[in-house]
Structure formats: C-alpha cells, structure tokens
Amino acid sequence: MLKTAYHWHRPLMLFTLSMVVLTPIAALGMLLDDRVLLDSPIWFKPFKFAVSFTLYSASLAWFTSLLEGRLHKIAWWLGTVFAGAGVAEMAIIVLQVTRGKRSHFNFETPLDGALFGAMGALAMVLFSTSLVIAILLFRKKFDNPAQSWAIRLSLIVALVGMSVGFLMTQPRAGQSREGGVIGSHSIGGPDGGSYMPLTGWSTVHGDLRIGHFIGMHAVQVLPLLIFFAGRWANTRLAWALSGGYLGLTVLVTWQALRGQSIVNPDGLTLIVAAALVVATALGIVWARQPHGQNNNKELVTA
C-alpha cells in the first residue's frame, strides 16, 4: 500500500514524508523548548502545519493519480509546484520559530515583513494549483459517480477553506506597520489568550482558523464518508454531504467573523446550526430515495 501511494505523485509524497518527519520533531520541540509565543508553545504552529500538510498533500497526490493522459501531465506539474511551495512555506515557519518570532502577520523588521510577504505569495501558489487540479478533475470521467463527485466537491470546499486564510491578513482596528503587526486569526480581540487543547483555537474570541482547517480537510472527510457509505453511496449523497460540509465551513467562519468563540455560540448560531443539520439530514434522506434509471445516467455523466 505504501509503495503504491509513493507512486501517486512522487514530489507530493516526498513532501508528505517530510511533513511526517517534521511532526514528531515539532512535538519534541514543544516538550523541550520552553519558549512561548502568543500564549502557546512556540513549536505548536509548525506541529499543526506539518499535520495539516501531511493530510492535504497526500490527498492531492491521490487525486492527481486518478487523472490520465494530458490531464495527468498538467496535474503532475501543478502538484510539483504545490510541493515546492509547501516546502518553502514550512521553511519560513521553522526559520521564524528558531528566531523566536511569529511567522504570520509580522512586520516588526524588514526581514519579518519580507518573510510574511513571501508566505502570502506562496499561499496564492498553493491555492491556484489546487484550483486548477480541481478544474482538471471536473474534466475527468470516472467509473464511480459517487466517488467522482465527492473528490471534486471536496476540493471546492477545500478552496473555500483556503480562502478564509486571506481574511486573516486584513488589518484590524489600531494595527499598522509601525506597530509591527497587520492581520490576525482572532476576531474581537488580539491573538493569544485561552485556547482549546490540541487545536489551539481561541476560547475567548472568534477564530478564523476553524473554518480554514475544517474547509481544507474536506479532501479527507468527504471521500471517506462516501467510502464508508458503501452500497448507499451515490451522486445525490455526495452532493448532500458536500453541501452540509460546506455549510459547516461557512457557519464557523461566519461565527468567527462575529467575534464569537466556537465554545460559546449564541442563539442565532445555534438556530443556523440546527437548520444546517436538518437540511443535511433531509439531503441524505433524499439521496436514499430510489431514482430509477438515474443510476445508469450517473455512470455516463460522472
């Protein structure tokens, strides 16, 4: 299985392997390095990024392996660019950790500003390559319609999740280059303070990282849900689950933009969440209704 996975896309899988290696190194850093940045262990950020990149890049490698001919060649080069950008992004994050500096939103010195600017450009590369690969997958004809739509739609949701990252770079009230910080992942207060274990998400302010993380990892969740659905999996189910997952991504992002902590939802957030659960459940019921000859049509159009 591992040998097969390695051949999905070698540059992406080598990048995945490097992130697998970095994960325990960063975890060890959290244990041995007592430095704290924004109220959390300084090695916590490279740890989280390594885990996230491991999951995302492995999924992207599998997606590219499903393409054939000219589409596969284009996707191969795009995946290679993604892997290179990912390596550069992580190199900057680790460099800033060794310097005892924050990597994001940092304009304390010209070097810090240049490094963050480079990370912004690299983020655009990661987004653009994923977008084109998603477009290529829409042109691919699959034998399994449920799987095909789960893959395509998961990448669309992931792109929405990535887009949340751009909201973090917007200046907040009172911020300026002279102050050394522009942008934040927290809404309603400064970065730092109390946070959830494991995720590091704020428990006192809105946190845009939640929608960013949830959206990006649709590329694992949605294909796995379709896989575990077994004989119940079909195109309708893929659309219903994808719609529900997109709704969740938008919901937690909207909650964060209102300055509301994920652990303290207000009545409006709970009402919208309940409506989302009901809508998704109805979609799943709809997906399980027999629809005659549409099954054959799915196989042709997927």
The DSSP call for residue 181 is: B
Taking the CA atoms of 72, 73, 79 and 83 in sequence, report the sign of the dihedral they define: positive
pLDDT tens digits for 190-207? 888 899 988 999 999 999
The pLDDT tens digits for 71-86 are 999 999 999 999 999 9
Residue 300 has pLDDT above 50, yes or no: no
For residue range 234-251, list pLDDT tens digits in order.
999 999 999 999 999 999
> Mean pLDDT, the chain, as a whole number?
92
11, containing H or E segment: helix 10-32
Does the reported pTM lie above 0.75? yes
Tell me what pLDDT residue 2 has.
58
CB neighbour list of residue 160: distance below 8 Å, 6 or more residues apart: 215, 246, 249, 250
| DSSP H helical ranges for 40-109 | 44-65, 69-98
pLDDT exceeding 90 applies to what percent of the chain?
Answer: 82
**Contact yes or no for 209/44 (Cβ under 8 A):** no
What tens digit of pLDDT does each residue of 117-175 get? 999 999 999 999 999 999 999 998 888 999 999 999 999 999 999 999 999 999 888 87
User: What does the pLDDT look like over 11-26, one tens digit per residue?
Assistant: 999 999 999 999 999 9
How much is the average pLDDT of 249-258? 97
Phi and psi based region of residue 47 (left: phi greater than 0; alpha: psi -120 to 50; beta: remaining) = alpha
Quote the pLDDT of residue 103: 93
Domains of the chain by residue range: 1-141, 152-302
Collapse the DSSP code of 256 into the 3-class scheme (helix H, G, I; strand E, B; otherwise coil) and give the result. Answer: helix
Amino acid at residue number 247: G
Tokens read off for 187: 């809404």
Q: How far apart are the first and last CA of the chain?
A: 27
Q: What percent of the chain has pLDDT over 70?
A: 95
* Sequence-distant (≥ 6) Cβ neighbours of residue 198 within 8 angstroms: none
What is the CB neighbour count within 10 angstroms for residue 174? 8
DSSP string, 96-162: HHHTT--SSSB-SSHHHHHHHHHHHHHHHHHHHHHHHHHHHHHHSPPS-HHHHHHHHHHHHHHHHHH
Average the pLDDT over 36-64 and give the result: 95
CA separation for the pair 172, 111 (Å, rounded):
22
Confidence of residue 208 (pLDDT cuts 50, 70, 90): very high
Look at residues 268, 207, 276, 209 and name the one whose alpha carbon lies nearest to residue 242.
Answer: 276
